[in-house]
Copies of this chain bind each other. A is one copy, B any other.
Amino acid sequence: MPTSTWRNLDQQRRERVLRAAMAEFGRHGYSGGSLNVIAREAGVAKGSLFQYFTDKREFFATVAQETSLRVRAEMAQWLAGPEPGQPFDDFLCDALSGWVRYFAKHPLERAVTAATHLERDPEVRAAVREGVYRVYLESLRPLLERAVARGDLRPDADLDALLSILLLVLPQLALAPFEPGLDPVFGLYGRQPDELRAVIRRLVTALLAGFIAR
């Protein structure tokens, strides 16, 4: 969707623009993000942005997609499923802890994730989330299906219900420890890693209670 000028752009320049855009859209979301600020931070004229993308929305969509690709690449290690002999709930705790740790270490990707999940404009949100959800579901559903086949989860488990709740919990865990006002029950904001792990264990226990094979 971006112009050929963007695709052929000098690597360093493209990375500067991308990082500035992730930071600005991450801070203020799509509609609140300022192209003036992005151009200034990237050390680039505003007019250049309109030679790379036809308009602001395409620019944001590109930034969001690029970000989701980076996240998926980094989480690939967990998508294989539990190691042989590892209980499924232990595995899920590990994976979610890794998930939280990733976003702790990558504030830029976390901010863009927040912007993606907190977008108000229905069209923008639908367009941007579509790609993100496809990436998650393509990985998560097979993971759960393999768990059923292996006997880790009950054969009659309602995987859609579990997936549905997981898709709510994942962004919550990615954001709540680092942004205020998201979790009034556990108060995840600003918690230490070991405290987060304890909460994750409680959530996983509650979540999987009806799914783990006995």
Q: A residues near B, CB below 8 A? A: 28-29, 31-32, 114-115, 118-123, 125-130, 133-134, 137, 158, 160-165, 167-169, 172, 179-186, 202-203, 205-211
Contacts and interface: CB of A to CB of B under 8 A. Distances in A.
Contact of A129 (B31, B32, B181, B185): B181
Nearest to A179: B122
Nearest to A28: B120
Given A161-B203, A165-B203, 10 more contacts: A29-B31, A122-B179, A129-B181, A160-B186, A161-B205, A162-B206, A164-B185, A205-B210, A206-B211, A209-B209
B167 A169 contact: no
Contact of A120 (B115, B134, B162): B115
Given A120-B115, A206-B210, A209-B210, A185 B158 contact: no
A115 to B, nearest CB: 7
A190 to B, nearest CB: 12
A184 B133 contact: yes
A19 B161 CA distance: 36
